[in-house]
Chain A
Amino acid sequence: MMLLVVGCNFKNTPVEVRERLAFTGPRLAQALDELSARYGCEAVILSTCNRVEIYLARNEALVAPDAELIAEFLLEFHGIRQEEARPEWYHHSGLASVIHLFRVVASLDSLVIGEGQIAGQVKQAYETAQERAAVGPTLHALFQHARIVAKRARTETGISRGHVSVSSLAVDYVRQVFDHFGDKTVLVIGAGKMGELTLRHLKDLQPRQILVANRSPEKAAEVAGGCGGRAVAWDQLDDALAQADIVLSTTGAPEPIVTRRRWNDVLARRSGGTVVILDIAVPRDFDPRIHDGDRTCLFNIDDLKKIREQTLQERGKHVAAAEAIVAQEQRRFLAKWTQRQHVPIIAKLTRDFEARRQIIVQQLFRRLNGKLGDEDRSYIEGAFRLLQNQFLHGPISALAEEAPEENRHTLRDALRKLFRLEE
């Protein structure tokens, strides 16, 4: 299998170098065209914020692509001089490149183990290469199989379970409490930068209204304008709390702004159900004792970070299972691949025997001309066909049963030599 992968990733190449090596839009298409034309091979380029990798495959009759040349091509294509940046290239060939791709797509090689984006990015890379006609039978088979690996790792192990970003986790908790958001009120307290991403996620839930409270009315109006909300006066905070379903608090206040007593007063005025408070301010804005998991669900930044760690730890427990899937699928891929490699030799062998059989049978018929009836001719033809099938059954079965081994096709080569199939 003449496969090669050359690349660099977050483990050993700094982001400023990876940024320069990244492929986007038309540059990606151009690179694929150049790779195919220059090296006469199939190519897929995987370019994400954490890695740049080129997958190449060549017909078996030719020599494997040279990793050094491909690395040089990458630098040359991006106009980077050798002395300017020194990415730590890695390369894998043959079976090692299959295992590498399967580990990448199962997100075992990711910065955050189990992250869900990489499978989509690999798929996108393959589709782009396909659009540029840079994909042939080898990479097609490899990337199709990679999709199976990604799906199995995701569905059969817990490697992708749960979110690991603070804002996504916050929204996960909100979703554990609420089912629909069209009748919900979100209250944003403060205007901290930390809350921006969480607010964006909350806005995506399309709540009925967003209220913004800030000590500075101008700042409140500014934040409200940015998220399509309505500013409320700071002295009306308790009223806003009483009608809110989801509270996002990001003030820079040195002490809690909502004490237990104040919250109890707010609760007494509330007619709605549970309220979820996402307190991502440091120091905290809400007294943590108000959390009861029923009427008040309070999650502060420490809770969310702790849960992030727990989720990552939990994912770590499933790495071995995902690695086992990679190993299993790599064997399956190799077995399938070997079978596919046997198809031309089996076809040639059959064709060759078919031609020889027909020549011999025709010679026999000419010799016995006039002495054979139609039934006899048909019987003789059938007998020779049976002989051919029985003769070929052994070699073909042996080929099918051959244990797949990388770049070693002893039996296939033997058959080629024994039956002079090259000539």
Chain B
Amino acid sequence: MPEIVERVTVFCFAASYVLALAMEVWHLLAPRPIQRYLALGFGGAGLLAHSIYVLVQPLQLTAPFGALVFLAWILAVFYFYGSIHHGRLAWGVFVLPLVLGLIGLAEALADGPGDNQDFLATLLSPRGERFWGALHGALLLLAGVGISVGFVASVMYLVQVYRLRAKLPPGQGMRLWSLERIEEMNRRAVLWAFPLLTAGLIVGIALQIQNGVSMSDWNSPKIVSTIGLWLVFAILLYLRYGVHARGRQVAILTLVAFAVLLLALASPVHPSHGGGP
């Protein structure tokens, strides 16, 4: 493997994302096509470095650092895809701070414990309990992607509501999707995340029972916050489909769900906890 590839650090892609965000903000203040291209260039460079890092470094997805860096990578892909397909929208202004926030949190929790299994390798060669542990982790991580996308949509929604409430002139300032489209994006993200979260939890519970862990192990912050996340989602879905709540209420509850997700990701792993973030 070339030496340069192994030299890629968190700083490389984080700095690229910071520059991309700076270009996006500059574009917002004084729109010119060049800033858009520069933002895409820096964002693309950051994503490349991030991808190399994820592939080359043995990320421990059970540890907060690995899980957060991996989640940030998926959202960086989401950012890059969105920036190309929705070039006229202020996409990066919403997604990049989230990506950077996750990377920052990962750095802050870099010394957290985790097991030393190679997550991807375990998932790709299904054998016994370790496979189920990896599957449990993958499901929860993908649910995390859905929740993060829901978070971005909710922030966009609240900004758009603020603009409408203040009756700001349309066509000026940042370009956003319509309320209807943002709400649809949030709805899809929640519908994507909930089954994955539920399946991940079921696999996790089954693993805990199979391992015969004691009652006190169920009190681990990671397990409690993940169950809390599931409950928030259940309320979210009830509000949406049970009492047909719309708009701001749903957006705010999605923000709460994201906060609980961060708590779950940042929580240390209990020694009895097998695989998964």
Q: Do A and B bind each other?
A: yes
**CB atoms of B180 and A173 under 8 A apart:** no
**CB atoms of B246 and A176 under 8 A apart:** no
* 8 Å CB interface, A215-274 against B: 271, 273-274
Name the contact of A179 in the complex, choosing from B33, B164, B181 (C-beta under 8 A): B181
**CB atoms of A303 and B167 under 8 A apart:** yes
Q: In the docked arrangement, what's the CA distance between A311 and B162, Å?
A: 18
Report how many residues on chain B are interfacial, defined by Cβ distance under 8 Å: 27
Q: In the docked arrangement, what's the CA distance between A297 and B168, Å?
A: 12
Nearest CB of chain A from residue B38's CB, rounded to whole Å:
15
1/0 per position for A287-316, CB-CB distance to B under 8 A?
000011111010100010011001100100
**CB atoms of A156 and B170 under 8 A apart:** no
Q: Does B163 reach chain A (CB closer than 8 Å)?
A: yes
Q: Does A420 reach chain B (CB closer than 8 Å)?
A: no
**CB atoms of A179 and B178 under 8 A apart:** yes
Q: Cβ of A156: which chain B residues have Cβ within 8 Å of it?
A: 32
Nearest CB of chain A from residue B185's CB, rounded to whole Å:
10
Q: Does A169 reach chain B (CB closer than 8 Å)?
A: yes
Name the contact of A173 in the complex, choosing from B33, B170, B246, B247 (C-beta under 8 A): B170
Nearest CB of chain A from residue B183's CB, rounded to whole Å:
7
Residue of A nearest to B180 (CB): A179
**CB atoms of B172 and A176 under 8 A apart:** no
Q: Does A145 reach chain B (CB closer than 8 Å)?
A: no
Q: Which of B33, B171, B181, B183 has most A Cβ within 10 Å?
A: B171
Q: Does B6 reach chain A (CB closer than 8 Å)?
A: no
Q: Does B192 reach chain A (CB closer than 8 Å)?
A: no
On chain A, which size bracket covers the interface? 20 to 34
Q: Which of B32, B169, B177 has most A Cβ within 10 Å?
A: B169
**CB atoms of A178 and B180 under 8 A apart:** yes
Q: Does B89 reach chain A (CB closer than 8 Å)?
A: no
Nearest CB of chain A from residue B249's CB, rounded to whole Å:
9
**CB atoms of B171 and A161 under 8 A apart:** yes
**CB atoms of A273 and B165 under 8 A apart:** no
Q: Cβ of B172: which chain A residues have Cβ within 8 Å of it?
A: 158, 161-162, 311, 314
Name the contact of B178 in the complex, choosing from A158, A175, A293, A306 (C-beta under 8 A): A175
**CB atoms of B161 and A294 under 8 A apart:** yes
Known A-B contacts A176-B178, A178-B180, A273-B183; the reply to A162 vs B164 at CB < 8 A is no
Q: In the docked arrangement, what's the CA distance between A293 and B167, Å?
A: 8
1/0 per position for B108-137, CB-CB distance to A under 8 A?
000000000000000000000000000000
**CB atoms of B161 and A176 under 8 A apart:** no
Q: In the docked arrangement, what's the CA distance between A310 and B163, Å?
A: 14
Nearest CB of chain A from residue B277's CB, rounded to whole Å:
34
Residue of A nearest to B171 (CB): A162
**CB atoms of A179 and B246 under 8 A apart:** no
Q: Does A177 reach chain B (CB closer than 8 Å)?
A: yes
**CB atoms of B169 and A176 under 8 A apart:** no
Q: Cβ of B183: which chain A residues have Cβ within 8 Å of it?
A: 273
Name the contact of B165 in the complex, choosing from A293, A306, A311 (C-beta under 8 A): A293
Q: Does B217 reach chain A (CB closer than 8 Å)?
A: no
Nearest CB of chain B from residue A202's CB, rounded to whole Å:
15
**CB atoms of A271 and B178 under 8 A apart:** no
Q: Does B232 reach chain A (CB closer than 8 Å)?
A: no
Q: Does A163 reach chain B (CB closer than 8 Å)?
A: yes
Name the contact of A311 in the complex, choosing from B164, B169, B178, B244 (C-beta under 8 A): B169
Q: Does A180 reach chain B (CB closer than 8 Å)?
A: yes
Closest 7 interchain pairs by CB? Answer: A293-B165, A162-B171, A172-B170, A293-B164, A179-B181, A179-B180, A179-B178
21 A-B pairs within 8 Å (CB atoms) are namely: A156-B32, A158-B31, A158-B172, A162-B171, A162-B172, A163-B170, A176-B160, A177-B178, A178-B178, A179-B177, A273-B179, A273-B180, A274-B246, A293-B162, A294-B161, A294-B165, A294-B247, A295-B246, A297-B164, A307-B169, A310-B169
A163-B171, A274-B180, A293-B161 provided; 10 other pairs, C-beta below 8 A? A162-B171, A173-B164, A176-B176, A179-B178, A273-B179, A273-B180, A293-B162, A294-B161, A303-B167, A311-B171
Give A residues with C-beta under 8 Å from B.
Answer: 155-156, 158, 161-163, 169, 172-173, 175-180, 271, 273-274, 291-295, 297, 299, 303, 306-307, 310-311, 314
